[in-house]
Amino acid sequence: MNEKTSLARPNTVLARAGFTSGFGVLAATLGSAVGLGNIWKFPYLTGANGGASFLLVYVLATLLVGLPVMMAEISLGRVGKANPISTLQALAPKGQPWWLIGVAGMLGAFLILSFYSEVVAWVFAYVVKAMRGSILSSDPQVTGAAFNALISDPMQSLLWQWGVLLFIGGILLMGVTKGIEAVTKKLMPILFLLLLLLCAVSLSLDKAWEGLVFLFHPDFSKITASVVLTAMGLAFFKLSIGMGTMMTYGSYFRDDQNIPLTTLRVMAADLSISMLAGIAIFPAVFTFGFAPTAGPSLVFITIPAVFSQIPMGQSLMVVFFVLAAIAATGAMLSLMEVPVVILHERLGLTRPKATLLTIFLLVILGSTSALSNSTLADFKLFGMTPFDLFDFVSSNIILPGGGIFIALFVGWVWGFDKFGGALTNKGHLQNQKVAQAVFFLLRYVSPALILVVMLKGLNLF
């Protein structure tokens, strides 16, 4: 590690390195993974891509590709102990440009943040709407109209998004990310309980069975190449991998942390939360006559309908969206960490300046996402609005592409000795078999699988 890197360790990394328990590391990693990906993206993609068959492919992608790449990223980060660019530069043989993975990751972070911040904006707006009680209804027309009124209003879309960006920027500038992590850790169990409550309500609805069949009974005819690519992209997005976030987080994993075990736990918890969101939503979708294929609006129009069925539904809905906002904040902070640390350590900007520059760039790029349902609705590139394009390119190209190169780097350049050393803590843990299996996946299976899925899914061959 060069001196500049060690001097310039970002303060959130230092703050998080202060976690003394294995649980702290687990919570921080989970804080990045769990976010709107579970509550918003997973349900709507599952709904739009055929239900159970999509879920099945998503789980397979998580196991065959997601887990190995996540272990690879965390291992590289823990050994490199720096931002992704510096880590890859330090670990690769001189002159080989593996550090470009870090550059692509930074680009990916900007693209994701520019639409993610808009979805967080909707969540924030829904907190206020829920307080006013104006959206609680089981009538698809009513909840749909409320959502459309929000996203098609350019001023509201922009202002809420800028509010979100300022809020997140403020947290970063004040250096209170440690506080946020602590708050997240305490509040996430409440979100979990609320989701359980919603599941119970949803399961008691008339056509709950139809929702469950949709979610769990696969119809294999719905699996196409582009569905597989979407499912794999979701696996990357969900686990925050393929773009350096987990590498950055790995840099503050403790040396005695069990990487495979932590990764497995994060994956299991993350998957459970997504499943709960699915079980809360699909029975209601079928009972009240929503369209499972509604797209990004699905959660925003369905959740109010479920809450409309319970006493104190309005107050509980406020709590739900506040907690969703907090979960999303954790994920956003981890996304921002990538460009902020890179600008800080590589370009020598102070951390506050790096943060301000990141926020500034996001205000500009993000505005195009914010206006994608109003002013810019007809402005399409490759047939997609900026919002959809940023989502598509990040999840279906940048993250899996990053995954290929991370897998290849570990499998063919870094080598088994070093990777195995990271997974077994230099032989202290009984993870040899796991290390061998994961290494095999990284060397041969994951890169080939990702490549084929990408080429087929993008219709390139």
Give the footprint of ligand PHE on this chain (CB under 6 A).
32-33, 35-38, 112, 237-238, 240, 245, 331, 334-335
Nearer to ligand PHE, 149 or 268 (CB): 268
Least spacing, CB of residue 241 vs ligand PHE, in Å: 7
Least CB distance from residue 386 to ligand PHE, whole Å? 18
CB of 32 to ligand PHE, least distance (A): 5
Both structure tokens of 440: 């095999």
Please say which residue, 75 or 314, places its beta carbon nearer to ligand PHE: 75
Query: Minimal distance in Å, beta carbon 245 to ligand PHE?
Result: 4
Instruction: Classify the phi-psi angles of 9: left when phi > 0, otherwise alpha if psi is within -120 to 50, otherwise beta.
Output: beta
How many beta carbons lie within 10 A of that of residue 381, not counting itself? Answer: 10
Closer residue to ligand PHE, CB minimum distance, 33 or 354: 33
- Which residue of the chain is nearest ligand PHE when measured via CB? 37
Q: What is the 3-state secondary structure (H, E, C) of 233-266?
A: HHHHHHCCCCCCHHHHHHCCCCCCCCHHHHHHHH
Output 285 or 331, the one with its CB closest to ligand PHE: 331
In the complex with ligand PHE, which residue's Cβ is closer, 34 or 151?
34
Closest distance of CB 85 from ligand PHE, Å: 16
Our CB check for ligand PHE shows the closer of 144 and 278 to be 278
For residues 246 and 294, which CB has a smaller minimum distance to ligand PHE in the complex? 246
Using the minimum distance from each CB to ligand PHE, give the nearer residue, 368 or 395: 395
Dihedral sign of CA atoms 349, 239, 114, 394 in order:
positive
Counting Cβ atoms within 10 Å, is residue 430 exposed (0-12), middle (13-18) or buried (19+)? exposed
Three-state secondary-structure class, residue 33: helix
Sequence-distant (6+) residues with CB within 8 A of 199 are 276, 279, 280
Q: Is 157 exposed, middle or buried (0-12, 13-18, 19+ CB in 10 A)?
A: buried
Cβ proximity of 376 and 385 under 8 Å:
yes
CA angle 409, 65, 87 (to 5 degrees): 30
Residue 161 CB, shortest distance to ligand PHE, in Å, is: 16
8 Å CB contact between 136 and 147: no
The CB-of-109 to ligand PHE minimum distance in angstroms stands at 7
Of 128, 173, 154, 121, nearest to 329 (Cα)?
121
Residue 211 or 233: the one with the smaller Cβ distance to ligand PHE is 233
Q: What distances in angstroms separate CA 337 from CA 56, 106, 139, 304, one per listed residue?
A: 32, 10, 41, 33
CB of 209 to ligand PHE, least distance (A): 29
Phi, psi of 294 (to 5 degrees): -60, -25
| Sole residue written with tokens 């009538």 | 139
Shortest distance (Å) from residue 141 CB to ligand PHE: 29
Cα separation of 403 and 392, whole Å?
16
Radius of gyration for the chain, computed over Cα atoms and rounded to the nearest angstrom = 21
Residue with Cβ nearer ligand PHE (277 or 301): 277
Q: Which is nearer to ligand PHE, 308 or 446 (CB)?
A: 446
- Give min distance, CB of 243 to ligand PHE, in A: 6
Query: What type of residue is 436?
Result: Q
> Taking the complex as a whole, how short is the minimal distance between the CB of residue 235 and ligand PHE, in angstroms?
10
What is the closest distance, in whole angstroms, from the C-beta atom of residue 291 to ligand PHE in the complex? Answer: 23
Q: Choose among 230, 140, 166, 220: nearest CA to 456.
A: 230
Q: In a 10 Å sphere around its CB, with 0-12 CB exposed, 13-18 middle and 19+ buried, how is residue 177 labelled?
A: buried
Q: Which residues contact 261 (CB under 8 A, 6 or more apart)?
A: none
> 33 or 232: whose CB is closer to ligand PHE?
33
